[in-house]
Amino acid sequence: SDMTLLDTATLPHAIAWNDRRFMMASLDHAMWFHRPFRADEWLLYAQESPSAHGARGFTMGHLFTRNGNLVVSVAQEGLIRPLGEAPRDG
C-alpha cells in the first residue's frame, strides 16, 4: 500500500519515487480495514497528499470495491530529501 503513496506528495514537484537525486523514507504508515473484501477482485486506490512541506510529505489513500464501498484507508508520512549530486552510472 505504500509503494506509490509517497509519490502523491512528490509528483507535483516533478520527483518520482525512483529519482536518484532524492532519498525517501517512510516515517510512519497505518492501514484501517473497514469491511471484508477480496484482494483478487477490482479495487480503486485513490491517493491524495494534503500536505508536503519541510522535507516531509503526508499522504492518504482509500481503496474502494467495484460497487463503491470503502474497504481500506491508508495514511503515511515520509521524509523526502535531496542527496546532492546524483550518482553516476557506470
- The Cβ of residue 9 has, within 10 Å, a number of other Cβ atoms equal to 25
Question: Does 47 participate in catalysis according to the annotation?
Answer: no
User: Exposure string (b/e) for 11-38, b if CB count within 10 Å is 16 or more?
Assistant: eeeebebebeebebeeeeeeeeeeeebe
Segment 20-36, tens digit of pLDDT? 888 888 999 999 999 99
Could you say which of 26, 40, 73, 89 is catalytic? 26
| Domain containing residue 35 | 7-82
Question: Does 26 participate in catalysis according to the annotation?
Answer: yes
State the pLDDT at residue 1.
Answer: 63
Q: Is residue 70 part of a domain?
A: yes
Question: Does 2 participate in catalysis according to the annotation?
Answer: yes
Could you say which of 1, 2, 19, 73 is catalytic? 2
Provide the sign of the torsion angle of the four alpha carbons 34, 39, 41, 44, taken in this order: positive
Q: Is residue 62 part of a domain?
A: yes
Asked if the model's pLDDT at residue 39 lies above 90, the reply is yes
CB 29 within 8 A of CB 76: yes
| Pairwise CA distance, residues 45 & 39, whole Å | 12
Q: Is residue 20 part of a domain?
A: yes
Q: Is residue 88 part of a domain?
A: no
Could you say which of 7, 47, 49, 76 is catalytic? 76
Rounded to two decimals, what is the model's pTM? 0.79
Q: Is residue 54 part of a domain?
A: yes
**Total number of domains constituting the chain:** 1
Q: Is residue 39 part of a domain?
A: yes
CB 81 within 8 A of CB 55: yes
Segment 42-75, tens digit of pLDDT? 999 999 999 988 889 999 999 999 999 999 999 9
> Helix (H, G, I), strand (E, B), or coil: what is residue 6?
coil
Q: Is residue 1 part of a domain?
A: no
CATH, residue 26: 3.10.129.10
